[in-house]
Chain A
């Protein structure tokens, strides 16, 4: 009898112990001189040997050597999981001090982040390329700190152009259509222009075409204009001039960007809008490619789509001073140059851009360097953008198959609902 009775509280005690053990994670030593910063970053590598973990461990070690009282705990998460893991961290209150990932605005909406001026020295902030720093602003205050970037340009297959008897890459939509027709006639079996409006990145390809007609996802004040007359005209043009005559994929709404890139690198597509990662893919596929400005309705685009990934600092642990020291260190030319060169990405700081564009080491990237200072961005600073972007990915491809005005009108309603809901 006694044995039984004894067993019960013991069990309860063990249960209680294991339960509470889960609750006490992640409190880092904030008192005294020693501080451990928690850094969470996305993995840009595609295998263990080139994981970003190596880069960040190196930066952290060098930083701690210079600042012995600040340690950096590095956690690198792959792109597929980082969003959900960061969500879990936020929900459980176990937030990182510094996060490097794809977007920042949703965290601003919940008032989780430091302003950039609190965690970056004036010199480091001045060194950021202005268009990118501006893209990090929510209502005129910068929260997002650009980390790496990329810009879009027009890629064409020189061999296929030659076979079709085309001397120059197109500069307007009508020229693009004429070239596509020539390619369709002379080189059967090749997709003349790859139009990927599938869920992977429809928000990008659609914005490039909208910019070509003086439109865009938003107007100057930042309000969504998805169904503006210019945008409806853009998608009507695409539908009647590229999709219906069979000058692009049969179903752009379900064709993803990676399919388009793979087709181009295999020589099965003559033209598309690509970013620098396509350079290496084309070289590996032995495709003789050319890079040109993106054609617009009446002439090449002056401002192309720029994309950036972001760094941000969380307020919760109150480590502003230490974060500032760390970020100033991480954004030095030496570190940023090493990172962008490792992954063939584009820089966001002026000194690194200057070094890369004048060094002569990056001839293949040169057409893109010129595009960076004038790049146009998604409305990243709008806290509703994540939702709108998800709606665009899912739905905007239908605008070249169904009625453009109706599809864009429905999307505009959803965007306005998302804005009203934030």
Chain B
């Protein structure tokens, strides 16, 4: 690929002695060229393939049998489980992101204070982030195991439950546990984003507020929170996209089962892969559209952010 992109430039430079002014006219193109190429190869091309696959009939042995038109989309929207899966996805995204933001605000405030051992606790907070998410969720899955899970044993020993329970087998108990894990792995990034934001708040403002007689809570509400908005928004939108796309937590713990009762749209897409690649691709296209919507929203919000500033 690279010879192609440099060829025209080389030839022209050969013909004209004024190669430098041309290079100047090309501007940043030669510099951003490789990046653009990379985006085309690893982002745009797979997107094209994904959309194309959603219009194909592919046999389970991997044989392409021709065009399917809009059949795969029709089949997808006729899935009896789809409605529930979408509701799950919305609840999952809102609950996990909401809890993450709330807890992170408190944690960031805590870590902004000076206290002995702050450096150590700040490092410790990175742990859930540094560990592979899949590893964390598989770890929790085994801790919750019906017969040999340590959390089951612990809860029974403390007296919170009478006998070990099959937490992940029942959607009603599996959801809260998966949300807990998802919040757990989202906290470090969000807390650090907010912490960075907190450190940009000038100390004089707090001092001025104190002089004016504002209480701690009022200072936080009127001064800290508004100034924290840029960091908060970045954290919020990145978390929305991350949690919406969150696959490893659910796949590692329940694989979306029983049936699709603990599946979000991303996990549902993966489940469909077992029966129909085309329909699975159609689900991916829908997911992709939703993520693009969220990104557009993010751009809009960040512009609004700049204008306010």
Contacts and interface: CB of A to CB of B under 8 A. Distances in A.
Interface of B: 1-4, 6-7, 10-11, 13-14, 57, 59-63, 65, 75, 80, 146-147, 165-166, 168-170, 254-255, 257-261, 271, 274-276
A48 interface: no
A199 B255 CA distance: 9
A417 B255 CA distance: 24
Nearest to A400: B258
A352 to B, nearest CB: 30
A387 B276 contact: yes
Contacts of A397: 257-259
B275 A387 contact: yes
Contact of B3 (A11, A109, A417): A11
Interface stretch (A35-43, A230-238, A245-253, A289-297): A245-253
A393 B255 CA distance: 12
B62 A390 contact: no
Interface stretch (A86-94, A121-129, A170-178): A86-94
Nearest to A88: B62
B62 A251 contact: no
Contacts of B6: 8
Given A199-B255, A391-B275, 18 more contacts: A8-B3, A15-B3, A90-B62, A106-B60, A107-B61, A110-B61, A110-B63, A250-B166, A250-B169, A251-B166, A255-B166, A255-B169, A263-B147, A387-B275, A390-B274, A390-B275, A401-B258, A414-B275
A268 interface: yes
A253 B257 contact: yes
A198 to B, nearest CB: 7
A33 to B, nearest CB: 33
Interface in A88-113: 88, 90-91, 106-107, 109-110, 112
A112 B271 CA distance: 27
A107 B13 CA distance: 56
B3 A251 contact: no
The 3 closest A-B pairs by CB, nearest first: A251-B169, A87-B62, A253-B258
Contacts of A11: 2-3
B274 A4 contact: no
Nearest to B260: A394
B169 A106 contact: no
28 contacts: A4-B14, A5-B14, A8-B3, A8-B6, A8-B7, A11-B2, A11-B3, A15-B3, A91-B62, A106-B60, A109-B61, A110-B61, A110-B63, A251-B170, A251-B258, A253-B258, A254-B168, A254-B257, A255-B166, A255-B169, A390-B274, A394-B257, A394-B271, A394-B274, A397-B257, A397-B259, A398-B259, A414-B275
Contacts of B254: 254
Query: Which of the four size classes fits the interface of chain A?
Result: 35 or more
A142 B122 CA distance: 67
Contacts of A199: 255, 257
Contacts of B147: 263, 268
A233 to B, nearest CB: 21
Quick one: which of B10, B166, B275 has the most chain A CB within 10 A? B275
Nearest to B262: A254
A146 B283 CA distance: 37
Contacts of B10: 4-5, 8
A21 interface: no
A1 interface: yes
Quick one: which of B1, B7, B165, B169 has the most chain A CB within 10 A? B169
A394 B2 contact: no
Interface string A386-422: 1100110111011001000000001000100110010
A12 interface: yes
A387 B60 contact: yes
Given A88-B62, A250-B166, A268-B147, A410 B80 contact: yes
A110 B169 contact: no
A398 B171 CA distance: 12
Quick one: which of B60, B62, B275 has the most chain A CB within 10 A? B60
Interface string A1-24: 100110010011001000000000
B2 A398 contact: no
B14 A253 contact: no
A11 B3 CA distance: 6
Given A394-B271, A398-B258, A250 B61 contact: no
Contacts of B63: 90-91, 110
Contacts of B57: 421
Given A106-B59, A263-B147, A249 B275 contact: no
A395 B259 contact: yes
B59 A109 contact: yes
B259 A1 contact: no
A254 B169 contact: yes
Contacts of A386: 60
A101 B13 CA distance: 59
B170 A250 contact: yes
A414 B169 CA distance: 24
Nearest to A397: B258
B62 to A, nearest CB: 3
Contacts of A1: 14
